[in-house]
Structure 1
């Protein structure tokens, strides 16, 4: 990883490989690479859907907001929406909201159908028909669960993400540990806890004492790392 930028420039951005992003989101790494960094098909180069937050680095890496935004791209693709239509929707929403990562904005829940209606006229993408015509269909794709766990700075910009449903024990916060998962209360890297847990023969009590954390915090870190390793 050739992170030649100054550390101060990286603060608050988060830093993830496609494989790490895949672990945290459950989206295949090959899809993430295709969406973020582009691909070549039939002799034609297709760029990524948007410029990554950490594009100033030489490596193909994602920033924190890229990580959250691809979860919405995945939801659209699961519904059959073309990359061309997603690209167009992203551009239009960016202009409308004045936000670089518009799908993650809570406003997209209310204004997204209008944006897709314009994209439907432009692209003729039939997968957009029911999203535009039926509010229920749109809500099935842009589900509240996509926004659950996201803390916002003000109304629109995502600040941190709690990836485990109905739990705030583990957090991805670009202002801490370059956005890698940490225990929310202590900031200790969950991967470090998990590796210690394995090295100590899965002796939970010993590792909890070593890190000076409650057993429940240790359990949360271990369960999270188990889940993303599966």
Structure 2
């Protein structure tokens, strides 16, 4: 992957990705790297759920891009709702062909009832919304409450381009800025940079604001976000 193409991709270590989506690091590694474990006389293998944006970037350590990160948020939500990785992987593979995208989970057309992942569609003849079980390709006329899985995601067409984490006013992850690390939008400074300065200054927000020549409210926003991640 060319260096210039990384500028709009976002770069996250697996540990950083796990922290940002509030998942277990070993779970994220399993999803993105697969695993091999002893089973009886042999070994059981599990392949990664998909090929990441940065798989061919030549990094020594595994890393993911912004679109991977957004998909991982959905994987975490689905697994927490009781959907097995086997079903998630099969659904991704089927939906990839159906929706013609390598990142189908953040296509805004998926729902879950805790057992299956569905693709929503509008019937052009009636205007009604139907639910399609992507794996079985069957229409499901069951009411499913949409979880707020897509809150804060901004799209360019059907592609996730930016994410404003819920309950984090003024904070965004934009792969075109600071390699996708969380930033205070109006200040353009990474939240972790401001938080480390805040700790170094004895938790004096005004001192940090003077140091970076920004409004103290931006420091406060970064501190709230980083402390929420660490909670």
TM-score by structure 1 length? Answer: 0.83
Matching of residues 111-150 of structure 1 within 5 Å: 111-112=119-120, 113-116=131-134, 118=136, 134-136=142-144, 139=145, 142-143=146-147, 145-150=148-153
Matching of residues 1-230 of structure 1 within 5 Å: 6-41=2-37, 42=39, 43-56=43-56, 57-58=58-59, 59-109=61-111, 111-112=119-120, 113-116=131-134, 118=136, 134-136=142-144, 139=145, 142-143=146-147, 145-154=148-157, 156-165=158-167, 167-230=168-231
How many angstroms apart in 1 are the aligned matches of 2:175 and 2:26? 24
- Give unpaired runs (5+ residues) of structure 1: 122-131
Counterpart contact for 1:160–1:173, Cα < 8 Å: yes
Give how far 1:199 is off.
Answer: 1.0
Aligned pairs, number = 209
Q: Which has the higher helix share?
A: 1
Counterpart contact for 2:187–2:218, Cα < 8 Å: no
Q: CA RMSD in A?
A: 2.1
Give how far 1:200 is off.
Answer: 1.1
Give how far 1:135 is off.
Answer: 2.4
Give how far 1:229 is off.
Answer: 2.1
- Give unpaired runs (5+ residues) of structure 2: 112-117, 121-130
Give how far 1:133 is off.
Answer: 6.4
Runs of 4+ residues over 6 Å off in structure 1? none
How many angstroms apart in 2 are the aligned matches of 1:214 and 1:76? 39
Give CA-to-partner distance per residue, 1:43-81, whole Å, 9 cap, x none.
022110100111013421111111111111122212222
Counterpart contact for 1:173–1:180, Cα < 8 Å: yes
Q: Which has the higher strand share?
A: 2
How many angstroms apart in 2 are the aligned matches of 1:69 and 1:180? 16
Counterpart contact for 2:34–2:45, Cα < 8 Å: yes
TM-score by structure 2 length? Answer: 0.83
